[in-house]
Amino acid sequence: MVHEDVNVSEEWRLKILEEIGIADLLVSLWSENYYSSWWCIQESGIASFRKDLTVIPLSTDGSAPQGFASHIQSTKIEPSYVCLDELMPGLLKAEPDFAIKLIFKSIEESGSFRGAETNFSKIIPHLDILTPEQGKRLLEISIANNQVHNASLCIKNIYHQYSLNMVVYWNQRITYTFLNY
């Protein structure tokens, strides 16, 4: 929230509480400067009481959450570059469908075998939460991108870690793909 989000003569405290009350996700950037802000500490503490709110504490200098937010694990980040991998555990908790779409996009855009394997490895721990539609989409992405389709670790993982139905679908699509060449 920035100054432009609060109207003239609107009470900041109420606006902050309102926004925390409707948020699905709170990403806080912890640092020594964060500790010096009474408001930042209060916001994190209030947010940490909401059981339906995912808090992702990121530390720019090794600082850990304090006060009521101290029970939430943080991770140290490079302040000039926040990697999606650092946010993914929190995103999967707060918005699993959105997080899975992001992982699928990275798999879909894989431009090398090793890149495909790296990107594909991000979905492996979450195969058990995929809906049948998401499983089908993963297979379609894998078949459409030859870097994924032909990367040995991707094929090995999909065969060993996914359900028989998806493997059958995978085999049918591969056969179909070969027949169309």
d(CA 126, CA 174): 23
End of a domain among 94, 114, 138?
94
End of a domain among 67, 94, 121?
94
Residues 79 and 104 in one domain: no
Residues 40 and 51 in one domain: yes
End of a domain among 76, 94, 112?
94
Q: Give the H or E element holding residue 108.
A: helix 96-108
The closest alpha carbon to 67, from 92, 90, 42, 89, belongs to 42
Question: What are the pLDDT digits (tens) for 141-153?
Answer: 988 888 887 776 6
pLDDT at residue 4 tops 60: yes
Q: Give the H or E element holding residue 42.
A: helix 38-48
* Segment 78-104 mean pLDDT: 88
Residues 124 and 160 in one domain: yes
Domain count across the chain: 2
Phi then psi for residue 162, to 5 deg, are: -110, 165
For residue 109, give its domain range.
96-181
Question: What are the pLDDT digits (tens) for 119-128?
Answer: 988 998 888 8
